């Protein structure tokens, strides 16, 4: 039986809190699939604990899940998570760092912006959606929930290890994209029907799709920078129903339509 010290247990348990994740530069991934994804990624796994090696009682103490999984990994957080300046924005958007224009590849890309997403389950699901639709990168406002929150990590089902993700000043990022000829699309209740609107595919310049806060929507500062206002209509049109879509579902519908248009282009 592998031994795990009380100091190790205390450290791993502390990673349930953001301040300790930031302090140690570590987070936890649980479950066979998640641990396999972590080990195959470039994140760096510092330790792996298995229930059949450390015992059920110890596993229960270090697990951050209601029902402890049979395996848990302690993983290093990647560097460059927070973009601090204009050069970082340009590089992340595939723009030339000096000119601010589309780089030599001649391509833009489809990028997802998350404006104050608070619910861990929503963020995790959104990252799965971004992974599925091949989004080039996801950018979140600094007040969005921590991507390495245990609930977020588990909800991603491994996408946390595949999707390029950064925290950034979203208004500044939008201005950088717009200055390069890009477009910023936001979803609003008074927007234009997404299915009949003209949508850029991101082939020649950066296309940014914004998902707003679960209850407040897109912040005013970001809204003023949206070049296009979209609306996801209900079916049948005009019939009473839900007020709005869940943030993750709205993101999925929006990205699906962008990718559908790209296939037709």
Cβ atoms < 10 Å from Cβ of 254: 24
Global model pTM greater than 0.85: yes
pLDDT tens-digit series, residues 131-143: 999 999 999 999 9
Q: Write the CA distances from 218 to 103, 202, 226, 257, integer angstroms.
A: 29, 22, 10, 20
CA–CA dist 109, 99 (Å, integer): 18
The confidence score (pLDDT) of residue 2 equals 77
Confidence of residue 243 (pLDDT cuts 50, 70, 90): confident
pLDDT single digits (tens) 152-207: 999 999 999 999 999 999 999 999 999 999 999 999 999 999 999 999 988 889 99
- Give the HSE-up count for residue 73: Cα atoms under 13 Å, Cβ half-sphere: 22
Q: Which domains does the chain have, with CATH numbers?
A: 6-76 (3.30.1330.30), 86-264 (3.40.1280.10)
Q: What is the pLDDT of residue 237?
A: 74
């Amino acid at each position: 039986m592998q031994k795990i010290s009380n100091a190790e247990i205390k450290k791993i348990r502390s990673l349930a809190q953001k301040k300790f994740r930031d302090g140690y530069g570590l987070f936890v991934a649980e479950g066979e699939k998640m641990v396999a994804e972590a080990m195959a990624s470039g994140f760096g796994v510092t330790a792996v604990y298995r229930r059949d090696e450390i015992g059920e009682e110890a596993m229960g103490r270090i697990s951050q899940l209601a029902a402890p999984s049979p395996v848990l990994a302690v993983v290093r957080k990647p560097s460059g998570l927070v973009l601090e300046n204009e050069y970082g924005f340009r590089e992340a958007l595939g723009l030339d760092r000096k000119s601010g224009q589309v780089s030599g590849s001649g391509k833009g890309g489809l990028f997802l912006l998350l404006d104050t997403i608070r619910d861990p389950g929503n963020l995790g699901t959104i990252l799965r959606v971004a992974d599925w639709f091949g989004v080039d990168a996801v950018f979140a406002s600094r007040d969005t929930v921590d991507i390495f929150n245990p609930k977020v990590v588990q909800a991603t089902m491994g996408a946390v290890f595949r999707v390029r993700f950064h925290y950034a000043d979203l208004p500044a990022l939008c201005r950088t994209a717009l200055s390069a000829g890009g477009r910023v699309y936001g979803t609003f209740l008074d927007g234009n029907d997404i299915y009949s609107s003209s949508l850029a595919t991101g082939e020649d310049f950066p296309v940014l799709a914004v998902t707003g806060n679960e209850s407040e929507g897109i912040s005013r500062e970001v809204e003023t920078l949206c070049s296009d206002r979209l609306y996801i209509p209900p079916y049948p049109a005009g019939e009473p129903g839900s007020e709005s879509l869940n943030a993750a579902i709205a993101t999925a519908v929006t990205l699906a339509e962008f990718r559908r248009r790209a296939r037709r282009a």
